[in-house]
Structure 1
Amino acid sequence: MDDNAEIQQEVRRWLEEVVIGLNLCPFAHQPNKLGRIRIAVSEAADEESLLEALQDEMSLLDASEESEIETTLLVTPHMLDDFEQYNAFFDLVDVWLREFGWEGDYQVASFHPDYQFADTDPDDPGNLTNRSPWPVFHLIREASIDRALSSHPDVEGIPERNIARVEALSPEERRRLFPYLFGG
């Protein structure tokens, strides 16, 4: 298996066992079951190349029917290991979304091995809700978000439930679900 296939496999495992398995995103199960979640690995090693990769993936989403590709997880294993740099890169992503006219049609969500919510300690268990095996940019169609939000009975309660869910994990469960955080 090549490196990219292994990375895709790790991200798929995280998606299925953590995001869907812990029900952190109640909207991910159906698109995953239908094979509508694309996992792409970028070879980008600098910001310009990564913006090009984001543009390519967004263009692919734009040209695809939602029944083919509903959402994309763009994995960046060759850069942005540092969470502060990753987080700062989102300023460029916001400009890029506006520049290409995708604002309002798409959103980009963030997942990172060292993800840390503002005003939390690095070891706060709540950060696990957004910790992935690699830096990931989640490209999401606004139409998918709108549909999901309109059909969910308590959207506002999702973050609180997610934090409670990961806080309730035993140390063994954390090591099993997040091996990349515990040297496994």
Structure 2
Amino acid sequence: MTDDAFDPDAVERGVRRWLERAVIGLNLCPFARAVYAKGQVRIVVSDASTPRALLAQLGEEMALLRDTPAEGIDTTLLVHPLVLAEFLDFNDFLDEADALLEAMELDGVLQVASFHPDYQFADSGPDDVENLTNRAPWPILHLLREDSVARAVEAFPDPDAIVQRNIERVRALGFDGWQRLLADDDPGPPPTP
């Protein structure tokens, strides 16, 4: 997406479609449904066009999440369609995000998860379907509260099984199914238990 075509509303709609159809619809994250239904997911579409500007905005979002009760905002998705389009650059930027977290003394309070259109796990090839579990329509820095993550993991009987189950789901769906799932005209899957 170029600067000329930047439409923050369209980006947010695409992220919501991905959340509702893939993350929640396929139950890739069993913890997402409740906070999304309660309106506790903040989606911020950044207009940052440089990593430095994005890092500054990330700091602002970390401070806002730190200073806002979880009942208001439990988690934040910082979507940045204009910067870090190359996965390796995005992956390198995660070190800066973690350093900022430590500099703000939020290590152990917040954590940063990552999603990218070209996400690739370290031991996988770029065309391995397993990468779909961390692929999103645009690069996303996902800010999570450590306390919320800990409570969610405690409530889930076997959190380690989530990864394997997700791999099985995206393998069954395949790349073509994934693309259809996120298409504008696809109603999405029925909710997965």
| CA-based RMSD | 1.4
1:38 has 2:57 as partner: no
Query: In the alignment, residue 109 of structure 2 is paired with which amino acid?
Result: D
1:74 has 2:78 as partner: yes
Q: Give the corresponding residue for 1:162.
A: 166
What percent identity do the matched residue pairs reach? Answer: 49
List alignment gaps of at least 5 residues for structure 1: none
Query: In the alignment, residue 12 of structure 2 is paired with which amino acid?
Result: Q
List alignment gaps of at least 5 residues for structure 2: 1-5, 185-193
Q: Give the corresponding residue for 2:64.
A: 60
TM-score relative to the length of structure 1:
0.94
User: Which secondary structure does the structure 1 equivalent of 2:81 belong to?
Assistant: coil
Q: More displaced, 55-64 or 165-174?
A: 165-174
Query: In the alignment, residue 113 of structure 2 is paired with which amino acid?
Result: A
Query: C-alpha separation between the residues in 1 aligned to 2:18 and 2:153?
Result: 23
Query: C-alpha separation between the residues in 2 aligned to 1:71 and 1:134?
Result: 18
Distance 1:170 1:126, change over 3 A: closer
Query: C-alpha separation between the residues in 2 aligned to 1:91 and 1:171?
Result: 29
Query: C-alpha separation between the residues in 1 aligned to 2:34 and 2:147?
Result: 15
Q: Give the corresponding residue for 1:131.
A: 135
Query: In the alignment, residue 26 of structure 2 is paired with which amino acid?
Result: L
**CA-to-aligned-CA distance 1:66-89 (integer Å, 9 cap, x gap):** 011000000001110000000000
Measured after TM superposition, the shift of residue 174 of structure 1 is: 2.0
TM-score relative to the length of structure 2:
0.89
1:143 has 2:160 as partner: no
- The structure whose RCO (Cα within 8 Å, separation 6+) is larger is 2
Q: How many residues align?
A: 179
